Structure 1
Amino acid sequence: MYYIGVDLGGTNIAAGIVDEDGRIIRKKSVPTNRERSSEEIVNDISKLIVDIMNEEGLTPQNLHSIGIGSPGIHDRENGVIIYNNNLNFKNVPVREEIQKKVPVPVYLENDANCAAIAESVAGAAKGEDFAIIITIGTGIGGAIISDRKLYIGFNGAGGELGHMVIQANGESCTCGRKGCWEAYSSATALIDQTKAAAEKNPGSKIYELVNGDLTKINAKTAFDAAKMGDKTGIEVVDNYITYFAEGLANIVNIFQPGVIVIGGGVSKEGEYLLKPLREKIRNITYSSHGLEEGKIVTAKMGNDAGIVGAAFISKA
């Protein structure tokens, strides 16, 4: 039997066919175009699923289940995305719509929880009793693994770590609050911070990296500039890591996890990100006073975490 996992992100919708061992045997993606209606986006999800099934020669009888991972709050029992602030989804009956095209069990889960499932089963948190998985993307996803099981709270909405406030009355967040960690430490926030800094410093190497077109700035640009010794890039990266550390320090103080796994595009910076991050956290956490400290590592599953984790929601 095979599983299909769908990673519904703010930028792309990715779907993959996964075997029993967690190997992706076929995958495909399309742009989300998140300004569209929920009906159009869900229709694209259904089409993507049908397309990869046809390409692999599979029928519903070959599938164990389909899993959908997306940001926000879900009614897992009824297969409804209750709220997704990045896509403007409210009470969207995803399961019902997909089952019209592919009549197999359909499961929904928060995308960060899907990444956690993948990392816990086969990645950087494998074998850990208590772990926190942070995924940096359009927003910040958080997931909690306790006793090797996904913790979701009594109402299923637990783990929304990106929406803890780190700055009262700070930057506006897509959730409607101000000062959320996500508003400072997501990839989206880093891009905005890089653009703002470049506009104030026209001599920065950031302009060189994007050929003078600031619309081409991505989450890697500031790090690349910093590695070139660019003062503006260094300042952007340092400020970004400071914001990131504030949120992680809160998580460490509350949970004291054995490992924090950081995924998403920014995590590809590796030790250039992790070394100063660990140093900043060590200076502001309670456990720094002589207690054993947990590890902070990058995710191992890479871009496939969302697909593999979504595929195995039924097993979580």
Structure 2
Amino acid sequence: MYIGIDIGGTAIKIGLVDNEGNIVYKKQIDTKAQRGYSEIEKDIISLIKSLLNIAEDNGSRVKSIGIGIPGIADPEGNKVIYCTNLGWTNVPLGENLKKEFDIPIYIENDATVAGIAESIKGVTKGYKNSIFITLGTGVGGGIIIDGKVYSGVHGIGSEIGHMIVGENFYDCNCGNNGCLETFSSATAVIKYAKKLIEEEQCETTLLEKVNNDLMKLNSKIIFDSAKEGDQLANKVVDRMVRYLGIGITNLINVLDPDVIAIGGGVSKAGDFLLEKVRKEVSKYVLFKEVKHAEIFLAELGNDAGIIGAALLSEYK
């Protein structure tokens, strides 16, 4: 049995997971990030203790504890180096948990653990080399090479969203300009749509759909409008897909994976998005006569973070 913890900006999810990636028990509490790191750590310790008791009552032994975070950890899993959503910098989460529990502790980026979950029970199952890209508020990624997580020497090896793909009209939160995240995240899609609306570049029904309140505009409305043929919405989507296609092509040309899975909130645009991405990538890949990585939509939903975190030890 394994314990998986998915720490998010709004909720902390924890579960007991078996060897096949099935969740046998799960629990969720509010993160309440404004309380600060120390209080959240206390909650995590309390949750782990409760699940260890449940496992023991059922005659099971917990082999390891894995944690997914919306940030980066050091390669040893002792410290969370950076976690914007929670306001953490160099916090000793792994270090403190290792003192508290005599069980191996592993910490990874949340997109990476979601990618592991897809490898266990989802669309990339059966492939040794896969890339998971999550399109949400930002753009995240997880890379698995020869069945093992690739995080790089310093723990930042799968920061796909910060691949530079072109110049943009606004900077990324990381301080650079041209990051994939500034073109292909939900945030980027909304920003560009607002820019075009304010500049009155194309005809659109978007304003009508949000009752002239651009604060209500979201990526789902934009993609739904694009499907309906809205000129401005399609311009926004085409730009987003162009740069996502460039980013994915770069990954294929450098890493040559078996498969790439796209998840996150934006992926709910479904086949409309998928077919556009596949077409865009086909324009740029090297050696077009050679078979390249297949691109699919991720299959797992909200439980991916728990499953992937739980079995993180098997991918290290």
User: Which residue of structure 2 aligns with residue 307 of structure 1?
Assistant: 306
Q: CA shift at 1:265, angstroms?
A: 1.5
- The residue correspondences of 1:1-316 to structure 2 (distance < 5 A) are 1=1, 3-30=2-29, 32=31, 37-46=36-45, 53=51, 57=54, 63-98=62-97, 104-168=103-167, 171-200=170-199, 204-288=204-288, 290-316=289-315
**C-alpha displacement of 1:262:** 0.9
**DSSP 3-state at the match of 1:302:** coil
TM, length-normalised to structure 2: 0.84
Aligned residues: 312
Q: Give distance in 2, aligned partners of 1:59 and 1:248.
A: 44
Task: Identify if the C-alpha distance between structure 1 residues 315 and 190 changes in structure 2 by more than 3 Å, giving closer, same or farther.
Answer: same
The 1:39–1:188 alpha-carbon spacing in structure 2 relative to 1, beyond 3 Å, is: farther
- Deviation readout 1:98-128 (Å, 9 max, x if unpaired): 5687775432112122112111222211121
Matched residue SS, 1:142? strand
SS in 2 for 1:15: strand
SS at match of 1:250: helix
2:183·2:240 contact (CA, 8 Å) conserved in 1? yes
Query: How far apart, CA to CA, are the structure 2 residues paired with 1:177 and 1:298?
Result: 29
Question: How has the CA–CA distance of structure 1 residues 79 and 241 changed in structure 2, closer, same or farther, with 3 Å as cutoff?
Answer: same
Query: After alignment, is 247-256 or 91-100 more displaced?
Result: 91-100
Which deviates the most, 137-146 or 201-210?
A: 201-210
When structure 1 is superposed on structure 2, of 11-20 and 261-270 the one drifting more is: 11-20
Instruction: Answer whether contact 1:85 1:174 (CA < 8 A) is retained.
Output: no
Q: Which runs of 5+ in 2 are unaligned?
A: none
Q: Which moved more, 1:24-33 or 1:179-188?
A: 24-33
| Letter of the 1:79 counterpart | N
Residues 242 and 7 from structure 1, CA distance in 2 versus in 1: closer, same or farther, beyond 3 angstroms?
same
- Whichever residue aligns with residue 120 of structure 1, its letter is S
- Equivalent pair of 1:264/1:303 in contact (CA under 8 Å): no
Aligned pair in 2 of structure 1 residues 206, 46: CA closer, same or farther (>3 Å)?
farther
The answer to whether the Cα contact below 8 Å between 2:203 and 2:231 also exists between their aligned partners in 1 is no
Structure 1: gaps of 5 or more residues: none
CA distance in structure 1 between the aligned counterparts of 2:257 and 2:8, rounded to whole angstroms: 27
Corresponding letter in the other structure for 2:250: N
2:171 alignment partner, SS class: coil
Comparing 75-84 with 301-310, which one deviates more in the overlay? 75-84
Cα distance in structure 2, aligned partners of 1:212 and 1:48:
45
Deviations for 1:130-173, whole angstroms, at most 9, x for unmatched residues?
A: 22111222322222222222222233332222211112475322
CA distance in 2, matches of 1:127, 1:58: 29
Give the partner amino acid of 2:63.
Answer: H
Query: Counterpart of 2:63 in 1: which secondary structure?
Result: strand
- 1:218 and 1:64 map into 2 onto residues whose CA distance is 42
Question: Cα offset for 1:63?
Answer: 3.5
Q: Which moved more, 1:257-266 or 1:31-40?
A: 31-40
Q: Taking every aligned residue pair, what percent have the same amino acid on both sides?
A: 45
Change in CA separation of 1:209 and 1:38 when aligned onto 2, cut-off 3 Å: farther
- Whole-angstrom CA distance in 2 between matches of 1:101 and 1:200: 57
Amino acid at match of 2:106: Y
Moved more, 30-39 or 270-279: 30-39
Residue deviations 1:45-64 (CA, integer Å, cap 9, x gap)? 4465567x49x955698543
SS in structure 2 at match of 1:293: coil
| CA RMSD across the alignment | 3.0
Asked whether the equivalents of residues 120 and 126 of structure 1 are also in contact (C-alpha less than 8 Å), the reply is yes
Decide whether aligned partners of structure 1 residues 131 and 92 sit closer, same or farther in structure 2, where only a CA change above 3 A counts: same
1:67 and 1:78 map into 2 onto residues whose CA distance is 10
Give distance in 2, aligned partners of 1:238 and 1:15: 38
Offset, 1:226 = 1.3
Residues 153 and 196 of structure 1: is their aligned pair in 2 closer, same or farther, counting only changes over 3 Å? same
